Chain A
Amino acid sequence: MVPWWQAYRYATGVNERNRVADRAAVAYRALADLAETVEDEWQYVNDLVDEYLPGIRVLAGAGDGALTAAQILAVDEAIAEIGLISDPHKAIDWLSTFPHLVALALGGDVDAAARASPAGTEPGQAGDSPPEPDDDSPFRILLGGDR
């Protein structure tokens, strides 16, 4: 039997991961709203959002155990960074970059997460299978020391 304090610690860790991923997803959606004002890029902006937003949410389940303070701070600093953007063209650039920063901070792979969560679904829906490893993932390459 799992002692109650271990179960509590696990649940707290999961909740923290969910809260961090939720904050990142809300910030990403706001960035997309800014980027959408570039009319010529409306389709591309929506393609990026459809690809990465579900992936960011899936990152909540990317790792084991509680996040460290440094991991939470990293995501919150990245959120603060995109919150400063006022140029919609720069916002489009960051729609591509931000999800990978969050993934690196949380120890996941946003591309694999996106594949595991088809566009428009929330984590846990659609009978998602575990994310496949991605050889190109910066996080995976970093862990492997591959240069």
Chain B
Amino acid sequence: MRFQDAAPDARTVVYAGIQADPLVARVAALLAGATAAERLLARAVMNGERTDAEVWRRIFPALFGESADEELRRRAGLLLAASLEVANRGEAARSQYRGAIVEELTARLLAGRAGPSAPVRRERRVLFDGVPAEIHPYDVTVESATRPEVYDCKWGARGINADVLNQLDDARTHAAEEEIDVRVALVVFDARRSCELRLDRSTANHEQTRLVALESLDELKG
């Protein structure tokens, strides 16, 4: 088993431009240190219809109300402003930014426990002897020689489908054939219960695929 950079095509070239936008890194950095409630704010704003900050401050009194402490209000304010910047990019661009943000957030959280022997990489394919390579790369990988990890990242639970689950499970089963224990996981920036409902209806193998949902993203830190 080995990891390999994905061959760039037209889509990945365009997407790479979004991934490299400093706004993506800024939002991901804020989300990495955020509470679950702040992450819910970011999800709502980046999915929202209105882009007036005051509206969102009213919707989240737990973050912006009188009872919230000053540091929480300050941090939530930064995240709100950055999320509104994404929302203001327009509907067409939003979905690409949101996807890139979840990937960047995942990579940042994993990087907290990764090191030189287990680098965190993006957009990588996993190759196995005698197995045709998957067309789509995995979003984030932790390339440890002893305990590699493979992640697919989704903005919402609706992104969970049979193709995604099969690709993750294939990585695990092919690695097992080479006696390598690969951890596979789905990171979804959405409520856990909504993801579980989606998974409950899926017939694709996912029993060994870990779900990391919005409420438990900090599990990625190890």
Contact = CB atoms under 8 A, between A and B. Distances in A.
B197 A44 contact: yes
A51 B214 CA distance: 18
A105 B59 CA distance: 7
A44 B33 contact: no
Interface stretch (B6-14, B42-50, B81-89): B42-50
A142 B37 contact: yes
Interface residues of A, number: 39
B156 A138 contact: no
A100 to B, nearest CB: 6
Contacts of B65: 70
A15 interface: no
B192 A94 contact: no
Interface in A103-146: 104-105, 111, 114, 136-139, 141-142, 145-146
A19 interface: no
Interface of B: 33-37, 39-40, 43-44, 47-50, 55, 58-63, 65-66, 156-158, 190-194, 197-198, 200-201, 213-216, 218
Interface of A: 41, 43-44, 47-48, 51-52, 68, 70-71, 73-74, 77-78, 81, 84-85, 90, 92-97, 100-101, 104-105, 111, 114, 136-139, 141-142, 145-147
22 contacts: A44-B158, A47-B197, A51-B194, A70-B61, A71-B61, A73-B58, A74-B59, A74-B60, A77-B58, A81-B50, A93-B47, A95-B194, A97-B190, A104-B62, A105-B59, A111-B192, A114-B193, A138-B214, A142-B35, A142-B36, A142-B37, A142-B62
